[in-house]
Chain A
Amino acid sequence: MIVMQPIISVSNLSKTYASGFSALKDINLDIRRGEIFALLGPNGAGKTTLISVICGIVNPTSGTVLADGHDIVRDYRAARTLIGLVPQELTTDAFETVWATVSFSRGLFGKPANPAHIEKILKDLSLWDKKDSKIITLSGGMKRRVMIAKALSHEPQILFLDEPTAGVDVELRRDMWEVVRLLRETGVTIILTTHYIEEAEQMADRVGVISHGEIILVEDKAELMRKLGRKQLTLQLQQPLEQVPQALSSHGLELSEDGNELVYTYDTQGERTGITALLKDLNDAGIRFRDLQTKQSSLEEIFVNLVSERR
């Protein structure tokens, strides 16, 4: 079996700032070629520091990072040519036009001018009609698009999106998700950090969780949700109960305050969910229900649980 080399390989990476603050602690992480990887973590967890080290903005204290086999320090030219970065802050030139700033980025990354490519990017990002506008005149959402256009100008193989949709309205956010999916289809590997767990849930193939400078989990998103996801079955009763009957105590049921709902929590990974037994016991106890619904934990709930467990 051929094992595909990871496009980014982080080994024993640590970063301690001059103040003594240890932002990254012995990080080991492989990013697979062509995937969308979501890096989740609370504020100050080290997400931006990790991205900044990989992109060459922050010096690592120890450890190595390879981008498609190129060491980001020793072979920085080859490594950086592959990488595009959309930082978290909206840091753009003010008085340049959209066309000029995107073309500048392409040159900066060592690529000859290619107006057709710039035109395609601007059209894909719905920026074409703003190409001659000065950046200062654009809205926040449009500026964010300009930053994505700059990062894509040199045709990177790896794209880092640090909180790409922060402060962006819902419509624009969905547009951006679409752009990211299209990019992935062209073979670009995408690493995104986000506070919007929904974003990771919608887009990511794999999820990494970082907390206090340590990677505490890396998992396929679907697998993660299957493993850690809990499901709840809510039964709406025909007659309210005052308390859970003794005969049902083994199921660990919770009764709602008004006594109208019974909530059963079960593990989706377990061989048996216990639902059949529960329904039989309910029937035997003469408890009838009007309706039922099941709910799976969201990635957000999983994330909150994971991070709180580490505290």
Chain B
Amino acid sequence: MNFYAIRAIYLFEMARTWRTLLQSIVSPVISTSLYFVVFGAAIGSRISEINGISYGAFIVPGLVMLSLLTQSISNASFGIYFPKFVGTIYELLSAPVSYLEIVIAYVGAAASKSIILGLIILATAALFVPLQVQHPVWMLLFLVLTAVTFSLFGFIIGIWARSFEQLQLVPLLIITPLTFLGGSFYSIDMLPPFWRTVSLFNPVVYLVSGFRWSFFGVSDVNVGISLGMTLVFLAACLAAVWWIFRTGWRIKV
């Protein structure tokens, strides 16, 4: 194992975060705070409790998940796309690093950033609403698992993308809608039966539900199923990355 290479890539990627602190950390925190002001304080005060939880607190896991998904994808996709775009990927391809090491370093860095961001958003949320975490270990597990899974997904998008437009396509047109429709701001039990069934095809529902369970002990779907679905998506992403590197798809000619 080339640990020096993993460390070099990881630190290089993390350094980019600190260089772009405003974009990487401050901006998502401000957006999330605005959500709390609008949905938590302004609108939330007129919404009754959901499953005995105040609306302001209810949306916290969903909001963390929203940032976690979008930032994981954006960090990881940009991390690998940019060297492709500017041509510095030659160095990565000519270095004595295995594909596994490349994935560990890039995905590890992207996931680390998302996890840090998720925890900052949680801390920010605690300033607005009283927060309780019934299952902190599970909360961290869902946080890490989701960050890693979607960083892997972002890594795949970064390799697939041939332009900055394509890079934005999946997060904007697929992930954001799925997150908004995945029960971030509501319980899917509040939906009419037909739309509730449709929602069960949205993988984000399982992530938000499982994560919310770790906070409040209540969930839209069974926590075991949530965990299972997250692991299935993780396995699918791992399989895709394995195939990409085995074939050199869009990396090597």
Contacts and interface: CB of A to CB of B under 8 A. Distances in A.
B9 A93 contact: no
B165 interface: no
For chain B, which range describes its interface: under 10, 10 to 19, 20 to 34, or 35 or more residues?
Answer: 20 to 34
Nearest to A89: B87
A140 to B, nearest CB: 15
A150 interface: yes
Interface stretch (B21-29, B91-99, B110-118): B91-99
Interface stretch (A31-39, A80-88, A122-130, A210-218): A80-88
Given A91-B86, A104-B12, A107-B4, A83 B253 contact: no
A269 to B, nearest CB: 41
14 contacts: A56-B93, A59-B252, A77-B96, A94-B86, A95-B19, A100-B15, A104-B12, A105-B91, A107-B4, A107-B8, A108-B92, A109-B5, A110-B5, A110-B95
B5 A57 contact: no
Interface of A: 17-18, 55-59, 76-81, 83, 85, 87, 89, 91-96, 100, 103-112, 150
Contacts of B52: none
B48 interface: no
A94 B85 CA distance: 12
Interface string B22-47: 00000000000000000000000000
Interface in B47-77: none
A80 B93 CA distance: 10
B159 to A, nearest CB: 15
A108 B253 contact: no
A57 B4 contact: no
B90 interface: yes
Contact of A57 (B7, B93, B96, B98): B93
B9 A108 contact: yes
Interface in B116-156: none
Contacts of B8: 103-104, 106-108
Contacts, number: 81
Given A58-B252, A108-B97, 10 more contacts: A57-B252, A80-B94, A91-B88, A91-B90, A95-B16, A104-B11, A104-B12, A105-B91, A106-B4, A107-B5
B158 to A, nearest CB: 16
A105 B95 CA distance: 9
Nearest to A84: B94
Nearest to A54: B94
Nearest to A78: B96
Interface in B238-253: 248, 252-253
B91 A110 contact: no
Contact of A17 (B88, B92, B98, B253): B253
Nearest to B92: A108
A93 B15 CA distance: 13
B22 to A, nearest CB: 14
Interface string B75-109: 00000000000111011111111100000000000
Given A85-B90, A89-B87, A80 B252 contact: no
A105 B88 CA distance: 11
Contacts of B98: 77
Contacts of A105: 91
A81 B2 CA distance: 11
Contacts of A76: 96
A22 B119 CA distance: 53
Contact of B5 (A17, A95, A108, A150): A108
A55 B9 CA distance: 19
Given A57-B90, A91-B90, A109 B95 contact: yes
A76 B12 CA distance: 23
Given A58-B252, A112-B4, A92 B88 contact: yes
B91 A150 contact: yes
A216 to B, nearest CB: 25
A145 to B, nearest CB: 16
Contacts of B19: 95
B8 to A, nearest CB: 3
Contacts of A83: 94
Given A93-B88, A100-B15, A110 B4 contact: yes
B82 to A, nearest CB: 9
A219 to B, nearest CB: 28
B236 to A, nearest CB: 26
Interface in B202-253: 248, 252-253
B95 A80 contact: yes
A57 B94 contact: yes
